Amino acid sequence: MADGRGGGDACDAADGGPGHSSHGERSARTLALVAAINVVGFFAELAGGLLFGSVALLSDAVHMLFDALAYGMAFAAASLAERYDASDRWSYGLHRLEPLSAFLNGVLLVPMVGYILYESVQRFLSPVDIATGPTIALAIGGLGVNVLSMAVLQGDDMNLNERGAYYHLLGDAGGSVAVIVSMIVVGHTGISVIDPVVAVLIAAVVLWSAGNLLRGSGAIFLHEAPVTRADVEARLQTVDGVTGLRDVHAWQICSEITVEAVQVDVAVADIEEAAAVTERLYRELADLGVDHATVELCHEGYDRGVQLNAHAHSG
């Protein structure tokens, strides 16, 4: 049997090495900053929604509050994952806190949708006068908060929690734009029922955000394969000496750590050749995005229980 990890940067990522640590610290700081920005936006829009009678603005404020709470949870998860590295008790550290936080983040959005829908129904039944001018000004401010937060988060290497935050902010930005447009229409037509209609649309966007988070985190918890068996077979079958694959399994600890375990049938003459094949297999898996790989070699023609005890690690 040969077991080890993907080489180079992939190994660092799986084991909490320099590259992974620096990104995790940056992620935690980013989420903390975004949370603080959204707390400010929440209080401003909450006050405006209550003072000026706009349920759409109020729903946008509640969205910001839940976003801030979600970012705070994500920040706590990222900080703990970086602080507590792999140990005898936690073999992968606390990196599973990332999908757990994202899942709870998505769950928190559901009652918010219920609240928005409830308030919207009340405004349908009992319309109120809305101070459109101040509401528009606050909605523009809220849009600015969303755009600033998205700019802070934007990047090609966003992890699951950062993507979750980005989805939240995208929904918030759409909500702010909808509030601005609806208030302009209400101001020109006097049809105040547009306000709860927009609130319902915001609720739909929030529900979409929740679905994205629950799907992403659920895929990790249910061990959806991040790398398909077909892709693994296509790459590993190109390695000289490999004659077949069995027991191919892939899963994720979090969005940044992918694990692969595979049993490989090989035709090799000696232990040195087995080590060379193993080295190549690890490199191929690393190229597929696998951070931690375990490869078991079985000599071609032998029974399953007769295996080469070849231990090799890629550099």
CATH number of residue 292's parent domain: 3.30.70.1350
Report yes or no: 313 and 15 within 8 Å, Cβ to Cβ.
no
Residue 9 inside a domain? The answer is: no
Residue 244 inside a domain? The answer is: yes
Report yes or no: 45 and 35 within 8 Å, Cβ to Cβ.
no
**Residue 315 pLDDT:** 42
Residue 42 inside a domain? The answer is: yes
Lowest pLDDT segment from 41-45, 164-168, 216-220? 164-168
**Both 201 and 270 in a single domain?**
no
Is the pLDDT at 293 greater than 90? The verdict is yes
Alpha carbon of residue 236 to chain centroid: 29
Residue 3 inside a domain? The answer is: no
Is the pLDDT at 15 greater than 70? The verdict is no
- Our CA angle for 32, 13, 247, nearest 5°, is 125
Phi, psi of 296 (to 5 degrees): -110, 125
Is the pLDDT at 220 greater than 90? The verdict is yes
Residue 10 inside a domain? The answer is: no
Domain span at 52? 16-221
When pLDDT is averaged across residues 220-227 and rounded to a whole number, the result is 93
294: left (phi over 0), alpha (psi -120 to 50) or beta: beta
Give the integer Cα–Cα distance in Å for 17 and 6: 13
Report yes or no: 149 and 167 within 8 Å, Cβ to Cβ.
no
Question: What percentage of the chain has pLDDT greater than the value 90?
Answer: 18
**Both 109 and 24 in a single domain?**
yes
Pairing type for strands 2-3 and 292-299 reads antiparallel
Lowest pLDDT segment from 21-25, 76-80, 304-308? 304-308
**Both 97 and 241 in a single domain?**
no
**Both 265 and 134 in a single domain?**
no
SS (H, E, C) 115-173: HHHHHHHHHHHCCCCCCHHHHHHHHHHHHHHHHHHHHHHCCCCCCHHHHHHHHHHHHHH
Find the CATH number of the domain harbouring 37: 1.20.1510.10
**Both 141 and 171 in a single domain?**
yes
To the nearest 10°, report the CA torsion of 225, 230, 236, 242: 120
Pairing type for strands 242-254 and 2-3 reads unpaired
Lowest pLDDT segment from 31-45, 146-160, 242-256? 146-160
**Residue 303 pLDDT:** 53
Q: Which of 172, 192, 221 is the last residue of a domain?
A: 221
Q: Which of 164, 191, 221 is the last residue of a domain?
A: 221
**Encoding tokens for residue 176?**
């702010």
Name, of 114-118, 238-242, 303-307, 309-313, the range with top average pLDDT: 238-242
Report yes or no: 115 and 207 within 8 Å, Cβ to Cβ.
no
**Residue 27 pLDDT:** 67
**In the structure, what pLDDT confidence band is assigned to residue 159 with cuts at 50, 70 and 90?**
low
Give the integer Cα–Cα distance in Å for 117 and 210: 16
Decide which of 110 and 295 is more confident.
295
Is the pLDDT at 164 greater than 60? The verdict is yes
**Residue 301 pLDDT:** 58
**Both 52 and 95 in a single domain?**
yes
Is the pLDDT at 219 greater than 90? The verdict is yes
**Encoding tokens for residue 123?**
């405004």
Report yes or no: 261 and 249 within 8 Å, Cβ to Cβ.
yes
Give the max Cα distance, the chain. 85
**Both 215 and 241 in a single domain?**
no
Report yes or no: 179 and 135 within 8 Å, Cβ to Cβ.
yes
**In the structure, what pLDDT confidence band is assigned to residue 218 with cuts at 50, 70 and 90?**
very high
Is the pLDDT at 296 greater than 70? The verdict is yes
When pLDDT is averaged across residues 21-40 and rounded to a whole number, the result is 73
Residue 187 inside a domain? The answer is: yes
Domain total in the chain: 2
**In the structure, what pLDDT confidence band is assigned to residue 230 with cuts at 50, 70 and 90?**
very high
Question: What percentage of the chain has pLDDT greater than the value 70?
Answer: 84
**Both 114 and 254 in a single domain?**
no
**Both 88 and 175 in a single domain?**
yes
**In the structure, what pLDDT confidence band is assigned to residue 314 with cuts at 50, 70 and 90?**
very low
- Burial tier of 190 (Cβ tally within 10 Å: 0-12, 13-18, 19+): exposed
**Both 56 and 180 in a single domain?**
yes
Average pLDDT of every residue of the chain: 79
Residue 256 inside a domain? The answer is: yes
Give the integer Cα–Cα distance in Å for 264 and 278: 9
**Residue 182 pLDDT:** 86
Residue 309 inside a domain? The answer is: no
**Both 113 and 143 in a single domain?**
yes
**Both 194 and 246 in a single domain?**
no
